[in-house]
């Protein structure tokens, strides 16, 4: 299911706020002041959503959540550090590719894609390799929809003297995350996803003690420490900030707080997911992932035993109705549906009706090709 964008009134209001001044110099000054004000407000609001204390800083960046993950990894690891990536899907593999490209010392511990982390196996790996200085993982592996035990990972990191970095792109603002463990030093997130802002802006939340460490930069545009220094100096970004996206996020965060914050959004997502799963069960589909490893964000669905359907053909049928599924590649006909964003129960009902029509048509087509007696 496609996430709907925030209302167009955001763009209208941003145009009002950035009306053209008398001169080019005035225009630049006006935009800089708007960017400075927005940056300060958004950074404070993101830290409030996270529940961080004064030891943390929110550093904004242009780009998607993946930009934030790359900035986090490239900026916080020294040439002598060794990163262990705990991987059970696309997010972990992306971290490994980032390390490979930037010549960062790393290793990968692959976990079951259908389950959360095996903490015993991770502990054994850390015991066998004392050179590991950092751990990295995704809070929620959105490939198939698996929730990972970050609290348990933080405890292991502390036990073995490691520091932890986490991709919270899919979960920030809905699933709780404890920022108190000293082993946790940074998380990467996006303005979209659970916050319902526009894509195109990301944040890395970092302990200030880590930002004080002197490490040579590996990248020019994604240098977190340079961005932090620029913001600290005069409140300005190093490069042109995405003002429209920032204005959209400001409105989205205001709505988020007015609607009850994290707990209210979590309950809303739970209600949507329950409604979706009941409807899909009636159509003959069930979740691929066991309930203890799920979260009300995305769900991967497969057909009940004996039901005939092809995910790609189902998606082709839905595309004709302006709907799209996330087709997975786990070796079986399965697809993924998300309940994030500005969607309603009527939207879910419309999807269920369309899936029902398409699967019925697919079953009829299958029967036509069955051999006659």
Stretch 78-98: mean pLDDT, rounded?
Answer: 97
Please state the rounded mean pLDDT for residues 328-350.
86
The whole-number average pLDDT for the span 166-192 is 97
More confident residue, 167 or 307: 167
Over 90: is that where the pLDDT of 330 sits? no
| pLDDT given for residue 20 in this prediction | 47
372 pLDDT above the threshold of 50: no
User: Does pLDDT of 369 surpass 60?
Assistant: no
19 burial type by CB count under 10 A (0-12 exposed, 13-18 middle, 19+ buried): exposed
Report whether pLDDT(86) > 70: yes
Predicted local distance difference test score (pLDDT) of residue 27: 63
- Per-residue pLDDT at 238: 95
For all residues of the chain together, what is the average pLDDT?
89
Question: What is the pLDDT at residue 24?
Answer: 62
Tell me, what's the pLDDT at 361? 78
- Is the whole-model pTM more than 0.75? yes
Helices (H), 145-214: 150-159, 208-211
Q: Among 134, 127, 137, which residue's Cα sits nearest to residue 157?
A: 134
Tens digits of per-residue pLDDT, 104-127? 999 999 999 999 999 999 999 999
DSSP, collapsed to helix, strand or coil, labels residue 144 as coil
Helix (H) or strand (E) run with residue 336 in it: strand 334-338
């Amino acid at each position: 299911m496609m996430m709907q964008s925030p209302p167009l009134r955001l763009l209208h209001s941003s145009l009002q706020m950035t009306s053209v001044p008398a001169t080019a110099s005035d225009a630049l000054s006006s935009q800089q002041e708007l960017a400075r004000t927005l940056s300060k407000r958004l950074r404070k609001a993101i830290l409030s959503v996270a529940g961080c204390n004064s030891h943390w800083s929110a550093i904004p960046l242009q780009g998607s959540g993946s930009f934030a993950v790359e900035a986090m990894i490239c900026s916080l690891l020294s040439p002598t550090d060794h990163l262990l990536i705990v991987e059970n899907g696309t997010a972990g593999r992306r971290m490994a590719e980032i390390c490979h490209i930037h010549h960062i010392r790393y290793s990968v511990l692959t976990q079951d894609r259908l389950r959360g982390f095996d903490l015993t196996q991770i502990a054994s790996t850390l015991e066998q390799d004392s050179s590991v200085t950092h751990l990295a993982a995704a809070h929620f592996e959105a490939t198939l929809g698996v929730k990972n035990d970050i609290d348990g990972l933080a405890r292991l990191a502390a036990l073995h003297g490691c520091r932890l970095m986490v991709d919270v792109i899919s979960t920030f603002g809905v699933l709780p995350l404890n920022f108190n463990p000293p082993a946790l030093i940074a998380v990467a997130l996006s303005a979209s996803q659970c916050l319902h802002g526009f894509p195109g802006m990301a944040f890395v939340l970092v302990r200030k003690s880590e930002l004080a460490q002197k490490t040579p930069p590996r990248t020019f545009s994604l240098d977190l420490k340079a961005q932090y220094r620029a913001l600290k100096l005069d409140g300005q970004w190093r490069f042109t900030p995405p003002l429209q996206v920032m204005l959209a996020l400001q409105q989205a965060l205001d709505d988020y707080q007015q609607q009850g914050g994290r707990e209210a959004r979590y309950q809303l997502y739970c209600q949507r997911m329950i409604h979706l799963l009941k409807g899909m069960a009636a159509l003959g589909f069930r979740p691929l992932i066991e309930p203890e490893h799920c979260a009300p964000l995305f769900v991967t669905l497969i057909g009940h035993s004996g039901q005939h359907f092809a995910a790609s053909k189902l998606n082709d049928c839905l595309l004709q109705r302006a709907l799209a599924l996330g087709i997975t590649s786990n070796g079986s006909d399965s697809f993924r549906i998300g309940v994030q964003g500005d969607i309603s129960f009527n939207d879910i009902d419309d999807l269920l009706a369309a899936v029902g029509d398409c699967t019925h048509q697919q079953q009829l087509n299958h029967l036509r090709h069955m051999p006659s007696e």
